[in-house]
Structures are given as C-alpha cells and as structure tokens.
C-alpha cells in the first residue's frame, strides 16, 4: 500500500539536523581513522583552515594544537572573531567574514559550512574569542547552545580557541593516526613559511616551502637539484628521480588537492611546453614527465572545488578579471623554467639525458606494448582473469571511494571471493601461480610477462593514476609462506614500476581471520592468537577451534563478512625515510647472506593449535 503523500510528508531540517543526517555531504566519508581523509581528520582540518587563513592575512605566527583520544584543541593568535558574532559564525549557515573579500581575499573557501559541520558533529564544542583584552565563549552540544557566556575581561593574547569532542554516535570506534596529522601539519607549514604549528609539543615550521616538501617526501636523491620558484600567488618545485611514473603534490589556497584539477593539468602542460621549446625538440610528453616529482601551490580568489572536501580544483579563472588558471601557470613556468635552464647548463644536460633515456626505453617496447594491449583485450573479453564490478573509480563522477579489486592466487580463493563480493563495487583478479620477481628488470617486463601485462591492464594504470579503475587495490593471499611470498612479489612489482599507487594510498593487504572459535550458540572469527584466547574465555567449555590455512577453506557465506562493512585492511605504506631502491635491493636482490641473517634474527615460530 502506497503511503499518503501530503503536506505532512514535507520536512524542513534545520542546519544541524541536516549535517548530522547527511555528514558525508559536508566532510566526506566518516571512516574510523585508518585513512587520511576520514571524517575525524576533516574536522581538525576545517578548524585549522580558519586559523591558517588568519595567518595568510598576516595575523598570528603560531597555532597550538592538542589532540587526545577524546578531544581536540586548536588555539591561534590571530585577530579573534568579533565578540558579538562568536555564536553566529559556528551556528548560522552563510555567516562568516570570508564573504567579504576585502577581509579574506585568497582563503581556502567561504566560511559558510566548515566549523558549523564540526559543531554539529561534536558532542561538545566550545569556541572562545580573545580580542583586545576581552573574551567571549559559547559552548554547544551537537549544535545546540549549552552556555552562552557574557563578554568578560582577559589577559590572553588575541586569537581564537576551539575545543571539540567528536560525537561517538557518529564517529564509532575511531582512533587517530598521528602520522596523518603530522603530514597535515607539515603541508601547512610548507605552504606558509614563517608559520609555526605546535602539535602536542612537537614543533613544525619550514624555511624553504615546497622545496622542503619534496626533500621530505622523496625516497632518494633527485637527478638534479630541486628547481624552486616563488611569486605572490604561485610556488612550484620540481626535479626528476629514478622511479617510473609521475608524482605530484598540489595545493590551492593552502588546501591539499589530492585529486589535482585545473592547476595540475596546467602544471604538467607547462613543463612539457617549456622543455620542448628550450631544446627545440618535439619530445613525447611522457618522456619529459617520466620520473618527475613536482609540487605546485597557487592562490585563487573564490576557488571552485568539485566537492565539499576540496580535493580537486575546478576553477577555470584565476581572478575576477578573467585571467585563466592555465595561462597564469603556463606563462609563469615558461618564463622561470626557461631562464633557469639557460643559467644552469649542468641541470639542462642531466634533464636532456633523462628524457633521451626515457625515449629510448619507450621506443624499445613500443611494438611489444601494442601486442600486449591486444592480448589483454582478448583475455578481458573472455573474462578469464578479471571478474569486474559495475562501478569504476576512474569513470564515476564522484570518484567512488568504495571501489575495490582483490588480487588473488588460485581458483579456490578467487572463487570464494567472487561468490561473496558486492558485484557493484568489488572486482576480482586471479593470478596464475606466483608472479615473477621484477626487481632490477626494465619496464619491458610489464608488457612481456602475461601476468603483469594483464594486471596493469585490469587496473588501467599504464598512463598514470588518473585512469585507475579501483580506489583500493587489495592483495588477498593465504596467510602462509607461499601467500606471504606472493605478497612480496606483488609489492615489488608496484614499487618497481608504479610506486605512485602506494604513495597515493591505494594498495592494501586483506586481513582474513586465522581462527574460527565457536560453540552451538556463538561464533568468533579471530585475527590473532590474542583474539583466539579471548574467544575461548568468552565461550568457556570446549569450543570448536578451526585454523584457516588458506582463503579457499573459507566458505563464500563466511567470506562475505570479511570483505563487507567489517573488512580489515592493512595499508601498504612508504615511510618518509624509505628508499625504494634500498628496500628492493635488501628484500628482493641477491644479498642472500644479509637477508638470511635478518630472517634468522627475526624468526618467530608459530605454535600449532
């Protein structure tokens, strides 16, 4: 029976109810703290952005940040919010100084939603403004005013302090990863030289901006000294490394645009255009950009982003007068980079050699690539290796975060996952035995080796991550020696030829339970011996204990629980001091005695159940 559609069916939500019912519209995915773009980090960023904007306008050189498991405190030393508007700026939509471009010219965005979202999504939210010897504090709970104190005298320095407790009804079982927060802090100071952030007593600042960013994030030395240019509304830094692929860090008004956008397109175009004209040669664009590591930061009035979380710039214009972002960036880089290369012939010679080397390798495998593409296409048509999903990360307008591909070994494992998966967002790629150890091999092997060629084609990453078809690439192998070896071989492949996949947080290891502990009433799936011991105590008596040796032993019905909402993934990460060449040489090279000593010294014997 159809329900009656009447005036009573029409509901009007106030600002806080709308945010709490649809938090994803304001802060992206909620998550639990295991990803850098999870909601708890967006809350921190939204408050910090306001303090950063104060600094960008010349007010306050230090921001103090305290983060505990329960709450976050952010204190800046800017001008402080006008005391009569302290409550309004965090509780009334479309209220904020950033609508007045005379006060805030080139900020992250209009202050219409950010702190309001933090307020609505916090079980406690306290904002205090200190201004010219007076102060005003307002406390909220889930967006509702709890206390609205009168203005009082203070000896505190000017500025604003926000304390918030993320609402545990919304952010369930979250845990902060301080590495993500430290990266956020570093990015802020790279973009704002002269600013000091103090996070739980740890100080962050930068003297050389984006040059420091590249030095901090590169895994190894550049082929030539980092080229670094700074002007009023633009800063760039670049060099070439020895890795395959391209690696970029892009920012707009201090916002880390992880998905790039207009400015990145222009940056890549400008480099190619300038290099071609400098050498007077029509080099292939891929030969110029292969192995590049670059960073760009621009400032734009009223930037247009493609989502509330501001990860991709959509602006075409640079200023209200109509100058385009593209022309501004291309003209700046063309002038600066051309002059630099003329003044630094040693760097120009190294760059030329790098381009020619890339060109030589590309031509050597050009014929093989055509054959390999045809082979991959035929295999795809016959659906022998890839059980695809219906939604794809690269083609979906909103860059669907849920898309996943499981890389498995053997028919039994791939069969279980295939039957248990969500066909809308989860794909399965089946390996045929162990992959080749690709360490030390050239990129020719990606096309001549059937497994690697088909895997690259399935992921669609030959020309970079812009066309990546799945947000999460998940290695799903047995928890035994052979399974671990396959993991290493696959990670080696990605490190060797597609390190940007790892650096951009797309590669994961599937964690599956080692034990099933059950009686007639209840079943526990345990991922460690500690969890197994806990389950035995819970069930008491003599529960049945099963040790899963391989993925194929887990039934599809059981498997659906392990790859659904409760999926456990371990991200494959590169630490800032990890050198890819050294890592691969030690673990996958021919230094057998050193590796053997390492294994013996770190060997752990598992007790059989």
Where residue 188 sits, what CATH number does that domain have? 3.30.565.10
CA-to-CA dists, residue 69 to 32, 72, 98, 164, 177, angstroms: 13, 8, 32, 12, 10
Q: What pLDDT is recorded for position 407?
A: 95
- Lowest-confidence region among 87-91, 110-114, 285-289, 535-539: 110-114
Is 229 a member of any domain? yes
- Same domain? 355 vs 392: no
Over 80: is that where the pLDDT of 373 sits?
Answer: no
Is 354 a member of any domain? yes
447-469 pLDDT, tens per residue?
A: 889 889 889 989 999 888 888 99
- Domain final residue, candidates 360, 391, 425: 360
Is 227 a member of any domain? yes
Quote the Cα angle for 176-179-181, to 5°.
Answer: 65
- Same domain? 141 vs 31: yes
- Same domain? 195 vs 263: no
Over 90: is that where the pLDDT of 399 sits?
Answer: no
Cβ neighbour number for residue 274 with a 10 Å cutoff? 20
- Same domain? 96 vs 189: yes
Question: Is the Cβ–Cβ distance between 315 and 304 less than 8 Å?
Answer: yes
Over 50: is that where the pLDDT of 415 sits?
Answer: yes
Q: What's the rounded mean pLDDT across residues 567-574?
A: 87
Closest CA to 80 of 151, 164, 184: 151
Q: List the helix and strand counts (H, then E) for the chain.
A: 20, 23
328-352 pLDDT, tens per residue?
A: 999 999 999 999 999 999 999 999 9
- Domain final residue, candidates 151, 184, 204: 204
Give the containing element (helix H, strand E) for 569. Answer: strand 568-571
235/229 Cα distance (integer angstroms): 6
Q: What pLDDT is recorded for position 10?
A: 41
- Domain final residue, candidates 292, 326, 360: 360
pLDDT band, residue 356 (cuts 50/70/90): very high
- Same domain? 310 vs 396: no
Q: What pLDDT is recorded for position 106?
A: 54
- Lowest-confidence region among 12-21, 72-81, 157-166, 491-500: 12-21
Q: What pLDDT is recorded for position 295?
A: 97
- Same domain? 504 vs 417: yes
Q: State the CATH number of the domain containing residue 552.
A: 3.40.50.670
When divided into structural domains, the chain yields a total of 3
Containing domain of residue 563, as a range? Answer: 383-512+548-601
What's the token pair of residue 377? 């296409």
Is 87 a member of any domain? yes
Half-sphere exposure of 264 (CA within 13 A, CB side): 21
- Same domain? 569 vs 477: yes
- Same domain? 140 vs 216: no
pLDDT band, residue 104 (cuts 50/70/90): very low
pLDDT band, residue 111 (cuts 50/70/90): very low
Higher-confidence residue: 498 or 432? Answer: 498
- Same domain? 318 vs 264: yes
Pick from 158-172, 387-401, 465-479, 562-576 the range whose average pLDDT is largest: 158-172
Q: What's the rounded mean pLDDT across residues 244-259?
A: 86
Q: What pLDDT is recorded for position 96?
A: 47
In the chain, what percentage of residues exceed pLDDT 90? 48
- Same domain? 114 vs 199: yes
Question: Is the Cβ–Cβ distance between 473 and 459 less than 8 Å?
Answer: yes
466-518 pLDDT, tens per residue?
A: 889 999 999 999 878 888 899 999 999 999 999 889 988 899 999 988 899 99
- Same domain? 59 vs 180: yes
Over 80: is that where the pLDDT of 283 sits?
Answer: yes
Q: State the CATH number of the domain containing residue 305.
A: 3.30.230.10
User: In the predicted model, what is the mean pLDDT of the chain?
Assistant: 85
Quote the Cα angle for 12-309-234, to 5°.
Answer: 135
pLDDT band, residue 1 (cuts 50/70/90): very low
Q: What pTM value is reported for the model?
A: 0.77
pLDDT band, residue 81 (cuts 50/70/90): very high
- Same domain? 408 vs 347: no
């Amino acid at each position: 029976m159809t329900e009656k559609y009447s005036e009573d069916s029409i509901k009007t939500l106030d600002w806080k109810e709308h945010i709490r019912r649809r938090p994803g519209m304001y802060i992206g995915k909620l998550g639990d703290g295991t990803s850098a773009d999870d909601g708890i980090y967006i809350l921190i960023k939204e408050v910090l952005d306001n303090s950063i904007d104060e600094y960008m306008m010349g007010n306050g050189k230090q921001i103090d940040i305290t983060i505990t498991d329960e709450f976050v405190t952010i204190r800046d030393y800017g001008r402080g919010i006008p005391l009569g508007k302290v409550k309004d700026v965090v509780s009334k939509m479309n209220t904020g100084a950033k609508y007045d471009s005379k006060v805030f010219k080139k900020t992250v965005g209009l202050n219409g939603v950010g702190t309001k979202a933090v307020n609505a999504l916090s079980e406690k939210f306290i904002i205090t403004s200190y201004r010219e010897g007076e102060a005003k504090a307002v406390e909220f709970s889930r967006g509702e005013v709890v206390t609205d104190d009168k203005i009082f005298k203070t000896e505190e320095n000017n500025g604003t302090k926000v304390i918030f407790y993320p609402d545990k009804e919304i952010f369930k079982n979250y845990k902060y990863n301080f590495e993500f927060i430290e990266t956020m802090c570093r990015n802020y100071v790279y973009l704002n030289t002269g600013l000091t952030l103090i996070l739980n007593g740890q100080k962050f600042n930068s003297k050389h901006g984006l040059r420091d960013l590249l030095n901090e994030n590169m895994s190894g030395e550049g082929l030539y000294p980092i080229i670094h240019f700074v002007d009023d509304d633009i800063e760039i830094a670049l060099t070439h490394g020895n890795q395959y692929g391209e690696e970029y860090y892009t920012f707009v008004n201090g916002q880390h645009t992880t998905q790039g956008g207009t400015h990145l397109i222009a940056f890549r175009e400008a480099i190619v255009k300038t290099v071609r004209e400098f050498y007077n040669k029509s080099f292939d664009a891929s030969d110029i950009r292969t192995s590049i590591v670059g960073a760009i930061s621009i400032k734009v009035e009223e930037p247009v982003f493609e989502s509330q979380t501001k990860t991709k710039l959509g602006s075409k214009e640079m200023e209200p007068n109509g100058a385009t972002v593209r022309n501004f960036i291309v003209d700046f880089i063309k002038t600066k980079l051309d002059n630099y290369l003329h003044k630094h012939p040693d760097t120009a010679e190294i760059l030329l050699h790098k381009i020619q080397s890339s060109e030589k390798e590309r031509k050597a495998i050009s014929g093989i690539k055509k054959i390999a593409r045809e082979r991959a296409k035929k295999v795809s048509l016959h659906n022998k290796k890839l059980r695809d999903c219906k939604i794809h990360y690269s083609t979906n307008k909103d860059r669907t975060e849920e898309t996943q591909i499981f890389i498995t070994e053997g028919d039994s494992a791939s069969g279980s996952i295939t039957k248990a998966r969500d066909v809308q967002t989860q794909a399965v790629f089946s390996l045929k035995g162990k992959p080749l150890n690709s360490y030390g091999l050239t990129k020719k092997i990606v096309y001549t080796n059937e497994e690697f060629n088909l895997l690259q084609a399935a992921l669609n990453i030959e020309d970079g991550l812009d066309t990546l078809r799945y947000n999460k690439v998940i290695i799903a192998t047995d928890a035994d020696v052979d399974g671990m070896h396959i993991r290493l071989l696959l990670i080696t492949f990605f490190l060797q030829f597609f390190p940007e996949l790892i650096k951009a947080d797309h590669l994961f290891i599937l964690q599956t339970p080692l034990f099933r502990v059950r009686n007639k009433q209840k079943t526990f799936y345990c991922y460690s011996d500690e969890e197994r011991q806990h389950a035995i105590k819970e069930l008491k008596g003599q529960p049945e204990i099963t040790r899963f040796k391989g993925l194929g032993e887990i039934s599809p019905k059981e498997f659906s629980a392990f790859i659904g909402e409760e999926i456990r993934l371990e991200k494959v990460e590169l630490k800032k001091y990890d050198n890819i060449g050294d890592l691969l040489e030690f673990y996958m090279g021919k230094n057998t005695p050193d590796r053997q000593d390492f294994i013996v010294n770190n060997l752990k014997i598992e007790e059989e159940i």
